[in-house]
């Protein structure tokens, strides 16, 4: 059985074809990962880091091909795809450079006669199942700290980036890592389900909340730990004192980056009523200037959505909003003269809470705008979602920001143009946005077991 990789930039032309991993192969990968894991853990942190840095050098050598595959397969503009690869490498290096302080033994009690020490040890074999939207970063964020900490991994990336996944496999196969430390399953969602059912010690997933909840239940039956980074519908709250000119680019990036296919992207713009006209006017001038086009075109700012299916979901959400009274100010349809999964960057107002663009995660280049009059109303609107991944506050009043940050149900909150995404910071959310955290010492904690060793002096 094979899977074809399709190019959403060019009317879904076939890029390549990959043979799907057989279920028996998946079982053998998990078995091999179990066999080699004690050896990988026993090497110690220093040796693992030494080998992983040699692997990073191979990833660096192949960074342009990885970026190109990301653009070809899922439509990310090539400049953004290069940034995805570069960011992934940056995070990998941070994990290695800071693992010692995150995983170091900690003395919790000591007196004249005894000492108690807490150690962090690997969990074992981790199954990693990933979405397609940031091929390199998703891989790094879920696999990097696992490997550093001494876990072995079996990865199943999305079938939408199966050539990217195959390339990763080739790079790892040519790396100095012992065979079986990192394994790649090539297949669709059903094979991901099969992987999750195997004899694993930990499950890590990046993707939709619906699939994440399903995998969470499977993990609960196995009584194993999970780390799931799921969807989001981040609010962007603009207060009356905000400098719109200063924050306009940040709003556009956080909504339209990767064609709006970003889990913590700014998906609902909540504007103080006194600022509505200015915000709408300036966004209406800026958004039509965004260049939509082929992902490999260096001048493209927004490429296609990943698949025809994703495009149809987006069109249904927009149609539902229009039917219920929403007004399209910019965009709102497929662009003319170009074939593929393209959709115009879109701005809409007159949005109400019964619309899908408000109730659901909108994974595409559509920005709905609502207004508020009081701080309490802004908080209520920001929290009116089953998600709680990211949130963006725009104000010059730092005390107001602190109040908002404390009251918004979100794992991450930023002020104006400051990004919360750094390798030292935990990344993850509240509510339906997931469980556990990636990055920093927090990520290492989620992927390791705690052992207390008490002894006399």
Q: Which residues are catalytic?
A: 229, 263
In this structure, are residues 185 and 30 in contact, taking their beta carbons and an 8 Å threshold? no
Where are the strands (E) in 78-195, listed by range?
106-110, 114-122, 125-129, 152-156, 182-185
The tokens of 54 are what? 């040699």
| CA atoms of 160 and 162, how far apart (whole Å) | 6
| CA atoms of 396 and 416, how far apart (whole Å) | 8
> What are the distances in angstroms from CA 411 to CA 74, 137, 227, 230, 424?
27, 19, 14, 12, 15
Beta bridge partners of 449: 121
CA 79 to chain centre: 18
The tokens of 128 are what? 């990693």
Reference 79, options 266, 258, 244; nearest CA is: 258
Phi, psi values for residue 206, rounded to 5°: -125, 125
Reference 381, options 417, 409, 402; nearest CA is: 409
Q: Sort 87 into a burial class: Cβ within 10 Å, 0-12 / 13-18 / 19+.
A: middle
| CA atoms of 205 and 399, how far apart (whole Å) | 36
Q: Helices 63-74 and 162-173, interaxial angle, to 10°? A: 160
In this structure, are residues 203 and 168 in contact, taking their beta carbons and an 8 Å threshold? no
DSSP string, 413-435: EEETT-----TTS-B--EETTEE
The tokens of 390 are what? 């990211």
Going 284 to 290 to 291 to 292, the CA torsion angle's sign is negative
User: 366-372 and 387-388: which strand pairing?
Assistant: unpaired
Where are the strands (E) in 295-339, listed by range?
327-330
In this structure, are residues 266 and 310 in contact, taking their beta carbons and an 8 Å threshold? no
Q: Sort 396 into a burial class: Cβ within 10 Å, 0-12 / 13-18 / 19+.
A: middle
In this structure, are residues 185 and 26 in contact, taking their beta carbons and an 8 Å threshold? yes
């Amino acid at each position: 059985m094979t899977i074809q990789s399709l190019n959403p930039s060019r009317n879904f032309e076939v890029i390549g074809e990959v043979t799907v991993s057989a279920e028996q192969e998946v079982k053998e990968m998990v078995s091999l990962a179990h066999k080699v894991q004690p050896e990988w853990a026993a090497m110690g942190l220093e040796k693992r880091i030494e080998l992983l840095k040699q692997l990073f050098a191979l990833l660096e050598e192949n960074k342009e091909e990885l970026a190109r595959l990301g653009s070809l397969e899922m439509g990310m503009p090539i400049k953004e795809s290069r940034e995805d690869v570069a960011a992934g490498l940056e995070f990998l290096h941070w994990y290695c450079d800071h693992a010692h302080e995150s995983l170091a033994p900690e003395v919790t009690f000591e007196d004249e006669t005894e000492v108690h020490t807490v150690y962090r040890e690997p969990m074992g074999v981790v199954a990693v199942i990933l979405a397609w939207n940031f091929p390199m970063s998703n891989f790094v964020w879920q696999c990097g700290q696992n490997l550093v900490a001494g876990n072995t991994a079996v990865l199943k990336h999305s079938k939408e980036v199966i050539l990217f996944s195959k390339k990763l496999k080739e790079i790892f196969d040519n790396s100095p890592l012992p065979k079986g430390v990192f394994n790649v399953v090539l297949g669709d969602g059903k094979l991901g389900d099969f992987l999750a059912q195997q004899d694993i010690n930990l499950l890590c997933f990046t993707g939709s909340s619906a699939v994440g909840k399903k995998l969470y239940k499977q993990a609960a039956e196995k009584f194993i730990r999970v780390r799931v980074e799921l969807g989001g519908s981040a609010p962007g709250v603009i207060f009356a004192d905000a400098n719109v000119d200063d924050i306009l680019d940040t709003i556009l990036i956080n909504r339209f980056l990767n064609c709006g296919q970003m889990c913590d992207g700014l998906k609902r713009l909540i504007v103080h009523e006194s600022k509505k006209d200015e915000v709408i006017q300036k966004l209406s001038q800026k958004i039509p200037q965004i260049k939509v086009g082929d992902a490999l075109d260096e001048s493209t700012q927004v490429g296609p959505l990943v698949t025809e299916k994703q495009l149809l979901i987006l069109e249904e959400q927009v149609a539902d909003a229009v039917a219920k009274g929403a007004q399209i100010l910019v965009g709102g349809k497929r662009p003319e003269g170009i074939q593929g999964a393209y959709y115009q960057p879109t701005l809409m107002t007159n949005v109400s809470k019964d619309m899908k663009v408000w109730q659901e995660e909108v994974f595409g280049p559509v920005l709905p705008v609502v207004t508020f009059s009081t701080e309490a109303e802004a908080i209520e609107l920001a929290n009116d979602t089953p998600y709680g991944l990211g949130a963006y506050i725009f104000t010059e009043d730092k005390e107001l920001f602190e109040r908002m940050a404390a009251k918004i149900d979100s794992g991450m909150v930023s002020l104006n143009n400051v990004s919360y995404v750094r390798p030292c910071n935990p990344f993850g959310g509240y509510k339906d946005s997931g469980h556990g955290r990636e990055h920093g010492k927090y990520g290492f904690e989620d992927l390791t077991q705690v052992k207390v060793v008490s002894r006399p002096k």
